[in-house]
Amino acid sequence: MTRDLFFFEESPSGLARTGCLAPSLSSLIIQCKTIVLPPLRKRKEDIPILANHFLELAIARAEVPINARLNLTSDLLDFLMTQRWGENVLQLKAFIAALVSPPFNVLLNHSERIEVTKMALMIEEGREFSLNQSIARIEACVVSRALAKFSGCQSKAAQLLGTTDRSIRHLQESLTRLIVFFCSSSLLEMATDSSDLLCDLFTLFCIPS
């Protein structure tokens, strides 16, 4: 006997109203038995099981050597049990992954490292900077990762990031203008930083369309 399970973060009827679910499929699913899974904060007995499972996944997926015997201490599990986990299981998974992740300078590329470090230094030194510009630069790198994951497919990258194809295209158009500016100016003859930035821009933009 085969049983089909459907998992939704929203009600099927609500997804059908927004066009995210075909009406015919929605009407079929509504007739099925519904099981509502409470948020993580209301089923704390699941936290140790999930945390250890996510730890195993994080160790298996790590790109740098990690002690496979790494375990969650009782104190850490007690701490996890006291948290509200507003973003549910996803937040717990991210928390555990962060425990075994390599340093941020390994995870981030050149441009991301520079931008994050620059923001931290500016705050530490009490100097003003444009948060919007810094976030925009990091956003460009995140979009680049998403596009690379889907071989340049804008629609899939947009869906993954919860944005629109138009936003992805707008970002790439902005990068094109920036690359043209760098190539047509004397900035290429400046410090190594400019050359590194240009390489990052080309790497970011030159993804199959």
Name the nearest CA neighbour of 144 among 114, 105, 117, 175.
175
For residue 44, the model assigns a pLDDT of 92
- Write down the residue that tokens 């075994």 correspond to: 100
What topology is assigned to 40-102 in CATH? Helicase, Ruva Protein; domain 3 (1.10.8)
> What's the pLDDT tens digit per position in 194-208?
444 444 544 444 443
Q: Where would I find the H helices in 12-109?
A: 12-17, 23-30, 47-61, 74-82, 88-100, 104-107
Q: Are 89 and 9 in contact (CB under 8 A)?
A: no
Q: Are 146 and 165 in contact (CB under 8 A)?
A: no
Residues lower than pLDDT 70 in the chain: 62-70, 101-111, 174-209
pTM: 0.53
Domain positions in the chain are 1-36, 40-102, 106-205
For residue 205, the model assigns a pLDDT of 44
Q: Which amino acid is residue 137, in one-letter code?
A: R
Q: Are 92 and 178 in contact (CB under 8 A)?
A: no
SS3 at position 152: coil
> What's the pLDDT tens digit per position in 106-125?
566 666 777 777 788 788 88
Q: Are 178 and 122 in contact (CB under 8 A)?
A: no
